[in-house]
Amino acid sequence: MTTIGDVARHAGVSRSTVSYALSGKRTISAETRERIERAVAELGFTPNAGARALKTSQTMVLGLLLQFHADEFAPAMLQYVLPVSQAARAEGYDILMVTDPDGPRAIHRIGDSDMVDGFVLLDVTADDPRIPSLREVRQPGVLIGLPRDTRELDVIDLDFGEAARMLVDHLHERGHREIVLVSPPHHVVERGGSYVWRFRDAAVERAARYGLQIHAYYGESRSPVIGQSVNALLDAHPRATALVVHNDATIAALPGILRDRGVRVPDDLSVVSLYSRDFGEEFSLPFTAVESAADELGRSGVAQLVRRITRSPDAGPPVARFVAPVLRDRGSTRPIDATRSTAH
């Protein structure tokens, strides 16, 4: 391995001069700089990351904590991973991916041994067990997803309440009077996925305000129960003219389910949903939807974390930030003529 000492010897300068030439923290004469650059190129020198980390107390690595739950639609998580990773690289950080089933312990292991400069927590729940560990550890962290107690924490999440209101408004404006809502599976509620009830409560409240009937259900995460469940809901509410789907597995399966049932969208049934652009493209989903902006959450979360790590004044006090949803109209809703009703 070639070290900074080899470069220094080769260039006939001191190690500190090489270091300064590389970091640019000192003015170096053109001639010296050139000799050093040549030596670096000839010897193929790249600074040792561990030695640098030891000296500077900066690893330039971020820990990304993923959780894989059985009974959850895994592809939905993928949409966060790539944006986080790319945003990190753009800021000069690499990603240590942590899939340990025991998240709290993993945070201590990684954090206490100074393997990373900060943490990104994905899929955060209301009383996420990883949060106490995160508070105990030296490194700052950013949460993607809203916990109950956000004190002293940088948190970012989609504004799920607003998303629900936008979708209900969209249907209300088009004259819909009776709609069915499919939320994530109930076990996600039990686990504390706050996005479930934030979306659901807001949808119910908004519907009530308009005097709009809404039938709210928890959905499924696996075929064929998904199909059975959707069919049962539509059977139970034959006069409903619209379906609001806040459930990744269900929306991915919905085109097949509706075709199977002979229901055309939007002619027989209007459908609105909530998913990220990438997810929609992956499954070729043709529905009007709020874009869940996984990339924006990932990017913005990483940016805030880096500001916190570097103690940038722009970081401000720790704060929960809610990203405004954007509705993408793909024409999967139709105006309802008050005198007609649909059978699906």
The yes or no reply on residue 44 touching its own copies (CB under 8 A) is yes
Binding-site partner at residue 112 among its own copies, DNA, none, CB < 5 to 8 Å by type:
its own copies
The yes or no reply on residue 287 touching its own copies (CB under 8 A) is no
Among 32, 150, 231, 310, binds DNA (CB under 7 A): 32
Q: b/e for 200-237, b at 16 or more Cβ within 10 A? A: bebbbebbeeeebebebbbbbbeeeebbebbeebbeeb
Point out which span in 30-38, 78-86, 143-151, 303-311 binds DNA (CB under 7 A): 30-38
| Mutual angle of helices 15-23 and 4-11, in 10-degree steps | 100
**Site track 307-326 with its own copies (rule: CB under 8 A), x = hit:** --------------------
Binding-site partner at residue 32 among DNA, its own copies, none, CB < 5 to 8 Å by type:
DNA
Q: Which amino acid is at 285?
A: L
Q: By rule CB under 8 A, what count of residues binds its own copies?
A: 52
Helices (H), 121-193: 130-136, 160-173, 186-191
Instruction: Please give the structure tokens belonging to residue 331.
Output: 């024409």
The yes or no reply on residue 105 touching its own copies (CB under 8 A) is no
Instruction: Please give the structure tokens belonging to residue 296.
Output: 């924006």
Residue 339: how many other CB atoms lie within 10 Å: 5
CB of 1 to DNA, least distance (A): 5
The yes or no reply on residue 89 touching its own copies (CB under 8 A) is yes
The yes or no reply on residue 29 touching DNA (CB under 7 A) is yes
Site for DNA in 54-113 (CB under 7 A): 54-56
Residue 112: how many other CB atoms lie within 10 Å: 13
Among 105, 222, 264, 328, binds its own copies (CB under 8 A): 222
The yes or no reply on residue 265 touching its own copies (CB under 8 A) is no
Identify the bridge partners of residue 217 per DSSP, sorted by sequence position. Answer: 182
Among 4, 181, 258, 271, binds DNA (CB under 7 A): 4
Point out which span in 42-50, 150-158, 174-182, 224-232 binds DNA (CB under 7 A): 42-50
Query: Coil, strand, or helix at residue 59?
Result: coil
Site for its own copies in 131-170 (CB under 8 A): 138
Peptide bond into 255 cis (omega under 30): no
**Phi-psi category of residue 234: left, alpha or beta, with phi > 0 → left and psi -120 to 50 → alpha:** alpha
Among 34, 42, 51, 225, binds DNA (CB under 7 A): 51
Residues 6+ apart with CB under 8 A from 132: 104
Q: By rule CB under 7 A, what count of residues binds DNA?
A: 31
Stated as kind and residue range, the H or E segment containing 95 is: strand 94-98
Point out which residues bind its own copies (CB under 8 A): 1, 44, 46-51, 53-54, 59, 61, 64, 68, 73-75, 78, 81-82, 85-86, 89, 94-100, 108-110, 112-115, 138, 222-224, 253, 255-257, 259-260, 278, 281-284
